[in-house]
Amino acid sequence: MDRAECAVMEKFLKGGGLKVTRARKVVLEAFLELEGHMTAELLFTEVKKKDPGIGQATVFRTVKLLSEAGLAREACQDDGAKTYEHAFKHSHHDHLRCERCGKIVEFCDPTIEKAQEAIFVRYGFTPLEHKMQLIGLCAECAAGTGKPDAEGGKS
């Protein structure tokens, strides 16, 4: 496990008057081992493999703490559960999501980034963050050769 992430989490918890517990360390370890986009439910499944005694509520609360500490961020979301991804030492990007099979493509486009900055200025907003998710059909699904996701996809 990356010591930098552990240090960030420990500093965040102590700064907020929270304890650095074994359960929180296990959740952080499982989170760091998973790559890509994950739901809190998937993280819970991975945590249970490491320590069956850690409950779902602990995992869900810890995911919130990971986000507040800057280690995780909400990623793209369909109509279901929120998904999270690594944030610490990971550059900003946006998402393309296939409505049918759930495929996700991460991208960063300088033209889009500049346009978003201009919109903040035009409307007098101070930028804090932004999330962009473009939804459509991937090439395979548009051609009718893609497979629906595990939840049956969207038609």
Q: What is the CATH number of the domain that holds 35?
A: 1.10.10.10
Environment class of residue 154 by beta-carbon count within 10 Å: exposed (0-12), middle (13-18) or buried (19+)? middle
Is residue 129 domain-shared with residue 105, that is, in the same domain? Answer: yes
The mean-pLDDT minimum among 102-106, 108-112, 142-146 falls in 102-106
Mean pLDDT of 31-57: 89
Q: Which domain-ending residue is among 46, 70, 86? A: 86
Please report whether residue 154 resides in a domain: no
**Which structural domain, as residue segments, surrounds residue 45?**
3-86
Please report whether residue 40 resides in a domain: yes
Is residue 60 domain-shared with residue 126, that is, in the same domain? Answer: no
Q: Is the separation of the CB atoms in 37 and 75 below 8 Å?
A: yes
Strand residue runs (E) in 26-132? 38-39, 72-74, 83-86, 94-98, 104-107
* pTM score of the predicted model: 0.65
Is residue 27 domain-shared with residue 77, that is, in the same domain? Answer: yes
Mean pLDDT of 126-142: 85
- What was the pLDDT predicted at 92? 72
1-22: pLDDT as tens digits: 558 888 889 999 999 999 999 9
- What was the pLDDT predicted at 133? 78
Number of domains in the chain: 2
- What was the pLDDT predicted at 36? 75
Q: Which domain-ending residue is among 46, 69, 86? A: 86
Two tokens, residue 86: 């690594």
